[in-house]
Structures are given as structure tokens and as C-alpha cells.
């Protein structure tokens, strides 16, 4: 029997995108038991959207916020994960539109001692502008170019076949997309969640995957399912990427399992 899940949505000061994301969650064939917004310091417009949406949501919404002190995605995800009330956590970003079977597809691959990473379809600037203007989830209607087209395909048999073999070994062993992942909460506690030494854009998700694998948790890759559409935006600053890569490589070389500053500090609030 599949275990119930918490859906964590990371966001920062883009309420228009978050609204589409939340609308797509409401249309899921299988709903999460709760939605937790991991808010990396957004302003009042985002707070008001969440409060208004919570009134009509089919499932409870919890808003976890901390002050805007720069890009601290690892920290706010830890705070959100500490609040999760259910044993399985699906993690996305608030600039995604979810296919209606997204949650169902993730739960299809749910298995003890495995975490899961999926992928995304990259929408063009023109498609994104049209979707936001019309407050529409109809990607096909407004489609004007995209990347990673094959990431929108769904096939149950191929999903099962690929899950243990696609991007799970060799140079892709630690490859993940933090905008589309799922974990057992107990496995996250085993490695102390995200390493909050990672600030700025990049690699905090890969470093978490490295420590999970070092701790004996295996990876599945969700292909042919778990479809997400990523709204176009300019890339975040990558000023910290070199240091983040260094810490990621260090976790591989030292076979690190435990993140020194992680989720454990939030478990008693």
C-alpha cells in the first residue's frame, strides 16, 4: 500500500507562477495529504496569495517562511521538511506546472530505501508569458517552443523499466533535479537533510543525493512520468557555484553521510 505524502513547494517572490503551480496541484488524480510552501523570504504578495488559496484548497496548506537573507534554498527546504506530517515527501519548485498524474506517477515508484528524481519540460519565454497572462494551465494551447520535449511523455511499462537503469550509474550516478524529487522522511533524517553550507544557486540537491547514496539509500529516476512544465525565467546568479561544486566533490571523496548543519536543528519547534 502506498504511503501518504507531503508536497513541498519552494518559492521566492513569484506569486503569479506559484498560483499556476498550486492550481495544477488541485487537479491531481491523487492529491497529497498536505502542501507545504517553503518560502525563501518572499514579500506580502506571496503571503496573501497563499492565504487566499488556502481557503479553497482541497488539502491543508502550511506556509513556512524565513526572512530574505539571500538565496537559502537548502535552509528553507529543511525547515519545510521538518514540518512534514507524512512519511513520504515530494519536492518541487513553485515555477512548475504539474501534469495531472504527477503525484500518482511519483507514488508509483515509491519504495523503501529509495529516493526518486524526475525531470522537466522547459517552456519558452513566449509560452510562459501566455500562460501567466491568461492564468492558464493549458500548455499545449499556448505552446510556442520548448526544450526537453521527450520529458512530457508517459508510459507505465517504460517507467518501471527505466527507473532503476536510467541515470543511476556512471557519470550520472548523482544526477538529480531538485525541482522534482521524492524522499522518505526517515531517509532525510538519516543524513540530516540538506547541507545549509550551500547558499546561492546550485548543487545542494546533488550533494544531498550523494550523502543519501553513501548512506545506502538508492536512487530511482522517474522517466516516462512525473511530468512537469518549467516556466521560463532568467537564471539566478551563479556566484557561489564554484564553492558549491567543491563541497559536492568533497562529499564524494570523503564518502560523507551526515550534513553538519541540517534538518535536525528544526525538529523540536
Question: For residue 195, what is its C-alpha cell?
Answer: 547541507
Q: What is the pLDDT of residues 155-209, one digit of tens each?
A: 999 999 999 999 999 999 999 999 999 999 999 999 999 999 998 888 999 999 9
Could you say which residues of the chain have pLDDT below 50? 269
SS3 22: helix
Which pLDDT score, from 0 to 100, does residue 156 have?
Answer: 95
Cβ neighbours of residue 56 under 8 Å, at least 6 residues apart? Answer: none
Q: What is the DSSP letter of 265?
A: G
d(CA 141, CA 224) in angstroms, rounded, equals: 22
Residues β-bridged to residue 6:
34, 89
Q: What is this structure's pTM? A: 0.96
CATH number of the domain to which 80 belongs = 3.90.550.10
Note down the domain range covering 224. 5-266
Number of domains forming the structure of the chain: 1
Which pLDDT score, from 0 to 100, does residue 201 have?
Answer: 82
Amino acid at each position: 500500500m502506498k504511503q501518504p505524502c507531503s508536497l513541498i513547494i519552494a518559492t521566492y517572490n513569484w506569486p503569479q507562477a506559484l498560483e499556476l503551480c498550486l492550481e495544477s496541484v488541485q487537479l491531481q488524480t491523487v492529491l497529497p495529504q498536505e502542501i507545504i510552501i517553503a518560502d525563501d523570504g518572499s514579500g506580502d504578495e506571496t503571503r496573501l496569495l497563499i492565504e487566499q488559496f488556502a481557503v479553497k484548497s482541497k488539502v491543508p496548506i502550511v506556509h513556512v517562511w524565513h526572512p530574505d537573507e539571500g538565496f537559502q534554498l537548502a535552509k528553507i527546504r529543511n525547515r519545510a521538511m521538518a514540518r512534514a506530517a507524512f512519511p513520504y515527501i515530494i519536492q518541487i519548485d513553485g515555477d512548475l506546472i504539474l501534469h495531472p498524474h504527477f503525484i500518482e506517477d511519483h507514488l508509483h515508484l515509491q519504495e523503501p530505501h529509495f529516493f526518486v528524481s524526475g525531470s522537466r519540460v522547459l517552456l519558452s519565454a513566449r509560452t510562459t508569458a501566455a500562460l501567466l497572462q491568461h492564468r492558464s494551465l493549458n500548455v499545449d494551447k499556448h505552446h510556442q517552443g520548448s526544450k526537453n520535449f521527450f520529458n512530457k511523455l508517459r508510459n507505465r511499462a517504460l517507467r518501471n523499466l527505466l527507473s532503476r537503469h536510467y541515470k543511476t550509474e556512471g557519470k550520472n550516478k548523482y544526477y538529480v533535479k531538485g525541482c522534482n524529487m521524492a524522499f522518505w522522511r526517515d531517509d532525510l533524517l538519516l543524513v540530516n537533510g540538506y547541507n545549509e553550507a550551500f547558499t546561492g544557486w546550485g548543487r545542494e540537491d546533488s550533494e544531498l543525493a550523494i550523502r543519501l547514496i553513501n548512506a545506502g539509500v538508492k536512487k530511482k529516476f522517474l522517466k516516462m512520468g512525473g511530468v512537469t512544465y518549467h516556466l521560463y525565467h532568467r537564471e539566478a546568479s551563479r556566484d557561489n557555484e564554484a564553492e558549491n561544486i567543491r563541497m559536492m566533490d568533497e562529499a564524494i571523496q570523503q564518502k560523507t553521510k551526515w550534513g553538519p548543519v541540517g534538518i535536525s536543528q528544526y525538529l523540536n519547534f
